[in-house]
Amino acid sequence: MRKSSSRPSRSTLLNELSACQAANLLARRDISAVELVKSCLERVAGRDERVQAFTYIDADRAIEQAKSLDEGPIRGVLHGLPIGVKDLFDAAGCPASYGSSIYEGHRPMSDAVSVSMCRTAGALVLGKTVTTEFAYFSPGPTRNPHQLERTPGGSSSGSAAAVADFMVPLALGTQTAGSIIRPAAFCGVVGYKPSIGLVSRAGVKGISETLDTVGCFGRSVADVALLGSVLLGDTRLTATQGLGAPCIGLCRTSEWTLADADTQRAWAQACSSLSADAQALVDVHVPASLADLVLLQKAVMAFEMSRALHYERASRPEKLSRRLSLLLDEGQGISLETHIGDLQRTAAARRDAQDLFKTCDVLLAPSAIGEAPPAKDGTGDPVFCRAWTLLGLPCVHLPFSSGRDGLPVGLQLVGQWGQDHLLLAHAQWVFERLECSSVA
C-alpha cells in the first residue's frame, strides 16, 4: 500500500522532481512510472513547440514500458526514470539522423551500449533530443529554455534544454570539444563528462577516436552520479557524501583573458564562498607544456572528423553545411605523419596533466566565456573545454550564478583521470556551498 504522506505535495509536479527524488519515490512505489512519464510528456506537449528539444518522442512505447515496470519488480537504480537520448546515439525503433538530412528516415535496429545499459537499469527512453550537425557547430532548432532567442549551446543542445525545462530528469550527451559542459553552462544544469575511455561509445555516431566521450545531464550532482554509475558500471559514483573538504586548485587556464565579466564575477563569488570551508584554495598555473592544448585539440579533431565522415563527404557533399565542409577540408589537409605527432603530443600532455593535481584534489576552472549568446550568433565557443577534453579528464559543470541578462553562469570542476567517483564527491561538497552562496 502506498503511503500518501510520502508523495510529493500537490503543488509539486512530478516532472519537476530531481532524478534522485523520483528514483526514491519509484523504488518505494509512492509514485508510479506511468504517472511520472505522463507528467513529463505533458511538459513536452506544453513546451517543446517553443523549446524544440526533441526530434522524436516515443510516447506510446514509454507508457507501455512504464506499465510493465509498475507491474514487476524494481528493475535497477534508474527504474521508471524517463531519459532523453541525444540523436547521436542509436536507440532501437527510434529515428537517428545524427543532426543531418543525409540520414533522414534512418532507424537503427539496436541500442547503443549506453542506451541499452540505461534500459537494463530501468530507464524509459522518452525520445531523441536534438544534436547539431554531426555534433559540430551548425545548430539544430533547439532554443534556450531561459530565453528562447538564446542558444542552448551545442552539440548536446536538446539534452541540456530538455533537462533544464523539466521535460526529463536525465539525458545522455557526448563531448568532443565542449558539447556537454558548454550546453550545461548555458542552460543552467549539471553536466558530467566522464574520464575518456570509461564509457562505451559503441552505437554512437563517432567523429573522433581520440576525443569522443559519452556523458550526461541532470539537475543535481547526485542526479548525474546516479546515471554515471550505470554508464561506468561503478556504484562508487553514487557515494557523493562524507568525503570531507577538498583542497581546490584554482586553474584560470591559459584562456582566462577570454572570460567575460559574468564568468569573472562567478569566479570571485566561488572563491569567496569556498574559502572558509575548503581544506585550501591554491592557485594552479598551466605549465608551458600544456599551454597550446586548444590548438592541438582542434587539429586532432579536424583530422579525425575528416576520416570519420568520409562516407558522408564522398557521397553527399551537398548535404553538408559549409562550416562542416571547411573543417573536413582542413582535416583532409593534415598528413598522417603530422597527426601521429599530434597524438604523441596528446599522450605526453595527458601524462604531464597529472602534475596539475600535486597540490590539490580537484581543479576549479571556467566552463564558458559567459552567458549563452544569441542563437543567431551560433552555439558558443568551447574554448574553456577543449583542453580538458583533449586531456581526457573528468569534468562536472556546476550552475550557481547568473549573468547581466539573468541567464545561468557557473564553473566546472576537473578531476584526475579514472577518479570520477572522487570528482563527483568533491563536486557535491562544492555545489552545496555554491548554491548556498547564490541564495544568500
The three cell numbers of residue 169 are: 530528469
Total length of the chain? 440
Q: Are 185 and 399 in contact (CB under 8 A)?
A: yes
Q: Is the dihedral of CA 305, 311, 312, 317 positive or negative?
A: positive
b vs e for 159-170, b when ≥16 Cβ sit within 10 Å of the residue's Cβ?
bbbbbbbbbbbb
DSSP string of 56-92, one letter each residue: EE-HHHHHHHHHHHHHS---STTTT-EEEEETTB--T
Residue 76 phi/psi, 5° resolution? 175, -170
Query: What are the CA-CA distances from residue 112 to residues 172, 268, 287, 388 (Å)?
Result: 11, 41, 38, 25
| Nearest one of 88, 174, 191, 87 to 129, comparing CA atoms | 87
Clarify whether 97 is annotated catalytic.
no
Active-site position among 97, 114, 179, 401:
179
3 state DSSP class of 326: helix
Clarify whether 358 is annotated catalytic.
no
Of the chain, the end-to-end C-alpha distance in Å amounts to 41
What is the 8-class DSSP label of residue 401?
E
Q: Report the Cα 329 to chain-centroid distance in Å.
A: 28
Q: What type of residue sits at position 386?
A: R
Q: Which residue has the cell 568520409?
A: 310
Cis peptide before 155 (omega within 30 of 0): yes
Q: What does the alpha-carbon distance between residue 261 and residue 87 come to, in Å, rounded to a whole number?
A: 34
Residue 296 phi/psi, 5° resolution? -65, -45
Active-site position among 155, 156, 273, 367:
155
Q: Is the dihedral of CA 154, 171, 202, 142 positive or negative?
A: negative
Active-site position among 38, 86, 193, 205:
86
Q: What does the alpha-carbon distance between residue 345 and residue 329 come to, in Å, rounded to a whole number?
A: 23
The three cell numbers of residue 374 are: 544569441
Q: Are 380 and 182 in contact (CB under 8 A)?
A: yes
Q: What type of residue sits at position 258?
A: L
Clarify whether 376 is annotated catalytic.
no
> Which residues are identified as catalytic?
86, 155, 179
